[in-house]
Copies of this chain bind each other. A is one copy, B any other.
Amino acid sequence: VTAILPIAVDGMGGDKAPGEIIEGARRAVQEVGVPVVLVGRPEELGGDHGLEVLPASEVIAMAADPASSVRTMKDSSLVRAAEAVRDGKASAMISAGNTGATMASALLRMGRIKGVRRPAIATPIPVPGGKPTVLLDAGANSECQADWLVQFAQMGAVLARERYEITAPKIGLLSIGEEAGKGNPLVKETHKLLQDASLGSAVFVGNVEGRDIMTDEVDVVVTDGFTGNVALKTLEGGMRALVNALFGVFAASDEAKAAAEVLMPGLLPLYAQLDPDSYGGAMLLGVDGVCIISHGSSSATAIVNAVRVAADMVDHDVVGLLRAAIAT
C-alpha cells in the first residue's frame, strides 16, 4: 500500500463514536500501514491515540436532515473531511455517521466525476466461499433513470476488477425474471441500453433475480437505490434472523454447546465473512474522490477494514479508472 496522503476518518460519526472510531483509526495505522487523520472536536477526540487531528467544531447528528445540515454546518466533521480530500490534504474520507450527510458532503465538496449523472452507493455482498457481489445503487438514489443505471454498471465493473480482481466481471440487472421482457419500465429500458453499453472487459449477462446475488453467477448487480436498499436490508435482516436462531440451537443444552464448540473452527470464518464489519463499508462511486460509508454500528474492526478499503481504492486509482470508464 503506497497511499501517502492520510485517510480522513470522521471521528464523530457512528453509534460507537468517538471511542471505537478512535480505536479503529489507531489500529488501522499499525495494521494497514497508512497515515490517518481524525476529524472532529479535539476535546472529544483526546490525544492519547497519537494521531493527527483535523479540528471541526460541529457534529451532524445521525438523524439530522442531510442537505440542510451540510449547508449550514460548515465546520462539521463531515464537511471538513470532504474538504480535506478536495484540497489534497487527505486521500480519502470515511464516516460511520449520517449516511445522507456523508453523501451530501462528498458530493457538494468533492463534486462529481465529469460525466457522472448520479453517484451510487456500491455495497459488497458476501458470497460464502467466493468473491463478493457488488450491489449498486444500494441507496443513494431512490428514483433512477435508465442511463444512470448504465453508469452504475460501468462503475461497478471497475470496482469488481480493481477491488476483487475479477478480470471479466459479469454484470446483471436486478429484475423479477430472467427474460428480457420481465420487470418494470426502468428495467426494460435499462436492459436495452446495457446491451449496447461500453463496459470494458465486463459482460452484461442480462436480468438476474434476488436469489442470484449471493452466488457466483453474477459479480455486479445493478438496480435503482430503492430496490437495492430494500434487497440489502432484507438480506441483512434474514442473515441476522438465521444466525440468531442458530445461536439459540447451539446454546440449547450442554450437549449442544459442546457440539457447537467442535464446529467453531468452521463456523467462525463463515461468520466473519458474513459480518458487515468485515467489509468496512460501502463505497460512494461517482464523486471526485474516495468516500467510504461505514455502517452506523461500526466497531473498531469495521473502521480498520474501512481504512483498508479506502487505501486499496487510492492505491488502485479507482477514481481515475472510474473517470476513464465514464468517459468512454
Contacts and interface: CB of A to CB of B under 8 A. Distances in A.
Interface of A: 127-129, 139, 142-143, 174-176, 182-185, 187, 209-215, 223, 225-227, 229-242, 244-246, 248-250, 252, 255-256, 258-260, 262-263, 266-267, 270, 274
Given A234-B211, A263-B256, A242 B245 contact: no
A263 B234 contact: no
Given A234-B235, A242-B242, A184 B143 contact: yes
6 contacts: A142-B183, A176-B230, A209-B230, A210-B229, A242-B242, A259-B259
Given A128-B244, A223-B230, 10 more contacts: A128-B248, A143-B184, A143-B185, A174-B230, A175-B230, A176-B226, A227-B227, A234-B234, A238-B239, A246-B246
A273 B194 CA distance: 39
Chain A at the B interface: SS class: helix
B231 A214 contact: no
B259 A226 contact: no
Contact of A227 (B214, B226, B238): B226
